[in-house]
Structures are given as C-alpha cells and as structure tokens.
Amino acid sequence: MLDNRLVKALRIIVARLENKGINWVLGGSVNLALQNVHVSPRDIDILTDKRGAFQIGELLKDYEIKRVEFTKSEKLCSYLGKFRIQGLEVEVIGDLQAKTNQGAWTERFKPRRKAILRLEDMEIPASTLEAELKAYQALGRAERVQKIREALKKKPKQSI
C-alpha cells in the first residue's frame, strides 16, 4: 500500500500532465510498488524525453527545487529537474541514458510501451516491468532485478 502523501502527489502530477500531449511514464520505485514489486518508495520518478522534461518542468514550476537541465554523472545522463510535492521529491528525467558495466551508454529512454495503472480514480501511464527490468540490469542493481523477476513470475499472462 502506498503512503497517502504519494497518492496525493500522484494526483497532482496526473492532473497537471493529463491531456497535455506529453509522452511520459511513471518509473522507479512507485511504479514498481504499484505493479506488485516489494519495494518501499520514497520519491517519484517521471520518465520522458527531452521535450517532455522541459514541458513538465513548466507545468510543475510552482513545486520546483531544481530546474530541468542537462545533467551527467559517471553512471547516468539526462535532462533532470527536481520538484517537491506533498513533501516528497519528484524527479523529472528526460532522455535518460545509463552507462553499462561494459562502459557503453544505453540508447536514450523514450516511453514507448506503456502500462496503464489504475489507482483510485486515476489512470497513470507507467513503464512496463519488462522495461524496468532492463533498466535495472543496465545499472547493475541485482537486488532490484531479482524483485522485478519475482513479480513478473506472478504476473498473469496477457492473452492476445
């Protein structure tokens, strides 16, 4: 079960972003928790492309703690902005790339395949568990990879 502040923050985010034509998905720990992966989320990650990051930055401007700008570390690079909603950190991440253990950069993440998660009366576009699995594998996060694999085993098969 998600903390009430997370639900309230998601409600604000969804209300601001829906019907704006922005290609975005919920990612990270909140997304995993909503898809029955046993994690304890403490922040919210919104994944998008470069254009979406700047658009979302404008739509969430009154919650901004760090404006959207290109950021590069040893393991990650993206257009990153940070916001505080309901006392929780919200990261907007555009064109995310990760450096693999082999030293190569992954291709830029673009939200293509989406899961639609239902929470109370909200419909939230989210990164699929399969996409999250690939991302955490690229980052070398073995414990998270194992938890996602466990959830995928329990997930009902989709009929075509």
Output the domain CATH number for residue 51.
3.30.460.40
126 within some domain: yes
Asked whether residue 58 is domain-assigned, the answer is yes
Classify residue 61 as exposed, middle or buried by CB count within 10 Å of its CB (0-12, 13-18, 19+).
exposed
pLDDT at 3: 86
| pLDDT over threshold 80, residue 159 | no
pLDDT higher than threshold 50 for residue 43: yes
What's the pTM value of the predicted model, to 2 decimals?
0.90
Which pairing describes strands 44-48 and 122-127: parallel, antiparallel, or unpaired? unpaired
Instruction: Please tell me the total number of residues recorded for the chain in this structure.
Output: 160
Confidence check: pLDDT of 118 > 60: yes
* Number of structural domains the chain divides into: 1
- Within-domain flag for 95: yes
Condensed to tens digits (0 to 9), the pLDDT of residues 61-85 reads 999 999 999 999 998 999 999 999 9
The larger pLDDT score, comparing residue 53 to residue 142, is at 53
Q: Is residue 56 part of a domain?
A: yes
Q: For tokens 């470069």, name the residue.
A: 50
Q: Higher confidence at residue 135 or residue 121?
A: 121
For residue 92, give its domain range. Answer: 4-154
* 27 within a domain of the structure (yes/no): yes
For residue 48, give every residue at least 6 positions away whose Cβ sits within 8 Å of its Cβ, in sequence order, or none: 22, 23, 24, 25, 56, 92, 93, 94, 111
Flag whether 52 is in a domain: yes
For CA atoms 90, 92, 96, 99, the dihedral sign is: negative
**Residue 149: its H or E element:** helix 142-154
d(C-alpha 134, C-alpha 10), whole Å: 24
Interatomic CA distance for residues 134 and 107, integer angstroms: 12
Q: How high is the pLDDT of residue 111?
A: 84
> What is the mean pLDDT of the segment spanning 32-38?
95
Let me know if residue 22 belongs to a domain: yes
User: What is the band of 160 on the pLDDT scale with cuts at 50, 70, 90?
Assistant: very low
What are the structure tokens assigned to 2, written together?
Answer: 């998600």
Q: What are phi and psi of 95, to 5 degrees?
A: 50, 45
Question: Does 142 reside within a domain?
Answer: yes
pLDDT at 158: 56
Q: What is the mean pLDDT of residues 123-128?
A: 95
Average the pLDDT over 141-145 and give the result.
91
Residue 100 has what pLDDT? 79
Mean pLDDT, to the nearest integer, of 31-46?
Answer: 94
